[in-house]
Amino acid sequence: MASALIPSPTLAQVLAAAWARADTWPSLSPAQGRVLHTLRRCRTPALGGHQYRCTACGREHFVPHSCGNRHCPQCQGAAAAAWLEAQEALLLPVPYFHLVFTLPHGLNPLIRQNRRRLYTLLFNAASQTLLTFGQNRFDAQIGITAILHTWGQNLMDHYHLHCLVTGGGWQADRERWVNASTRFLFPVKPLATVFQGKYLVGLQRLFQRGELEFHGELEAWATPAAFAAQVRELTRKPWVVYAKRPFAGPDQVLRYVGRYTHRVALSPRRLLRLDPDAGTVSFDDKDYAHGGRHRTMTLRLAEFVRRFALHLLPERFTKIRHYGLLANRGRQERLARVQALLAPAPATTVTTPTLLPTRPTPRPVSGIRTPDCAARTVAPARWCWWPSCPAPGDATPVRRHLMNAPPTRDALAGPRTSGPPGRGEVHGVVGPFSRFQAFPPPRDLARFTPHVRFGSRAAPGLDPARPARSPDHPHAQLPASPSGAARLLSL
């Protein structure tokens, strides 16, 4: 019997298939287990969802909730956009340079057992190296944004730090900005030597203070002589610091950094197929050791879960940090002074009034696909998804599905209105829940239905500030029944 292959699976499907097989779920820490169980239920009915009903044809659509975990590859789009919007105010009109600090693979076993301390040491060693070089060359304070990545294309551990560095620095005592060359910032070989020295010194201090853990295969490292031998072995090969070409301007920095900030170990497009019967998963692997060739890598589910769990960050660990000129404390005051220095001199000619920048026209958003729909629709999600709908109308949230509690009698047997509901009206709740309360739109649907506030606005007949519909409007004859919205707002 042929295996039931699943093409282009989601990470939740892969984790669910691994969870269903007792022999494919590796031994994990409690924190790792909590994260993987959350990812396994992402966009499934296990996390609840919202039920939508078309006001014209009456068809309903169920949209499950997303998990919102920072390790989920499907939930990082909104978080990355919000972060980039906040960082736009921090950009300066100067060139930016991209440097990558990489740890040797000989440290991988030690890092797996001491993630928080050795990740922090990586941030400290790289930032102190760059700040020292900036002070020595420019006699000024440079700005650094550092982003931690822990993986390679094959999902094995490859610990490195992406650093965006300002092309120049601020001399606070002289109140001036020192520009760097547009093609060169620091020599990479001296950078690597200083970075190696700072990291190994910090590593030895952690060992002397007894803050490192040695378990299993690393128990032999616990003696001072064995640990010193391992440190000497790490100095035999030069460490790598890679400098990429500088950015043309702040706009290019934003576009580039958006690819790195909220990226996780495996993007959804790289998952190719899942074979639940054979217990294997295949994904795309870009082999940089052989010219960046793409190849298909197939792993057992247990090995896939083990490799993916290597890149789950410790709880409450910050993977994006700012240093120097961009450090959090006093940042607004420093940037205001630097931006005043970098502002162009006022022109002597007569100035004309400038128009405020306008928001770009949003791109059309594809509708949500449901299993019963014939194809993806290009219309916004406020319209019905059903191709056979005679007069597509507004898709109104009519129910919400929550989790982990039994339903109450009043909610299930509450009064229902006759006829199609009005826009913005919520008609009861179906599914297990413990509390009935007003709730914001889920983050993965807020961009689809910005006009629906899930009960925060009453139906058209209850809003006196809303103009009445014209007689020619296709929904002018729909009754505006206030019972659902009023019942939600009164709780």
Q: Which residue has the higher pLDDT, 134 or 54?
A: 134
Residue type, 298: T
pTM of the model: 0.71
Average pLDDT over residues 484-489: 37
Distances (CA, A) of 34 to 48, 164, 271, 309: 18, 33, 22, 11
Average pLDDT over residues 31-55: 87
Average pLDDT over residues 304-318: 92
Q: Which residue has the higher pLDDT, 440 or 272?
A: 272
Lowest mean pLDDT among 146-155, 231-240, 321-330, 453-462: 453-462
Percentage above 70 pLDDT, the chain:
68
Percentage above 90 pLDDT, the chain:
37
- pLDDT digits over 62-80, tens only? 888 888 888 988 887 777 7
Taking 90 as the threshold, does the pLDDT of residue 487 lie above it? no
Lowest mean pLDDT among 106-110, 243-247, 271-275, 325-329: 243-247
Average pLDDT over residues 90-107: 91
Average pLDDT over residues 341-358: 60
Distances (CA, A) of 46 to 67, 380, 444: 10, 26, 16
Answer yes or no: is 297 within a domain: no
- The segment with the largest mean pLDDT, out of 10-19, 22-31, 400-409, is 10-19
What secondary structure does DSSP assign to 221-237, as a single string? GGSHHHHHHHHHHHTSS
What secondary structure does DSSP assign to 60-107, as a single string? EEEEEPP---TT-TTS-HHHHHHHHHHHGGG--SS-EEEEEEE--GGG
Name residue, tokens 């002289």: 174
Lowest mean pLDDT among 3-7, 45-49, 372-376: 372-376
Report yes or no: 38 and 279 within 8 Å, Cβ to Cβ: no
- pLDDT digits over 187-227, tens only? 999 999 999 999 999 999 999 999 999 998 899 999 999 99
Of 176, 106, 171, 94, nearest in space to 140 by CA: 171
Report yes or no: 447 and 81 within 8 Å, Cβ to Cβ: no
Phi, psi of 395, rounded to the nearest 5 degrees: -85, 110
Q: Which residue has the higher pLDDT, 448 or 392?
A: 392
Residue 326's pLDDT is what?
Answer: 93
Residue 122's pLDDT is what?
Answer: 97
Answer yes or no: is 119 within a domain: yes
Answer yes or no: is 270 within a domain: no
Answer yes or no: is 491 within a domain: no
Average pLDDT over residues 89-111: 91
- pLDDT digits over 366-415, tens only? 344 444 443 333 333 334 444 555 544 555 555 555 544 333 334 333 33
Q: What 3-state class would DSSP assign to 396? A: strand
Answer yes or no: is 177 within a domain: yes
Residue 347's pLDDT is what?
Answer: 53
Residue 399's pLDDT is what?
Answer: 53
- pLDDT digits over 218-262, tens only? 999 999 999 999 999 999 989 999 988 777 667 777 777 777 777
Answer yes or no: is 122 within a domain: yes
- What is the 3-class SS of 296-365, one letter each residue? EEEEEHHHHHHHHHCCCCCCCCCCEEEEECCCCCCHHHHHHHHHHHHCCCCCCCCCCCCCCCCCCCCCCC
* Domain coverage including residue 196: 77-265+313-341
Give the model's confidence band at 153: pLDDT under 50 very low, under 70 low, under 90 confident, else very high: confident
What distance in Å separates the CA atoms of residue 192 and residue 195, rounded to the nearest whole number?
Answer: 5
DSSP single-letter state for residue 138 = H
- 95 CB burial (10 A radius; 0-12, 13-18, 19+): buried
Residue 449's pLDDT is what?
Answer: 37
Question: What integer best gives the mean pLDDT of the chain?
Answer: 74
Average pLDDT over residues 83-91: 79
Residues 6+ apart with CB under 8 A from 329: none
Answer yes or no: is 245 within a domain: yes
**How many domains does the structure of the chain reveal?**
1
Taking 80 as the threshold, does the pLDDT of residue 488 lie above it? no
Taking 70 as the threshold, does the pLDDT of residue 315 lie above it? yes
Give the model's confidence band at 117: pLDDT under 50 very low, under 70 low, under 90 confident, else very high: very high
Residue 224's pLDDT is what?
Answer: 94
Answer yes or no: is 57 within a domain: no
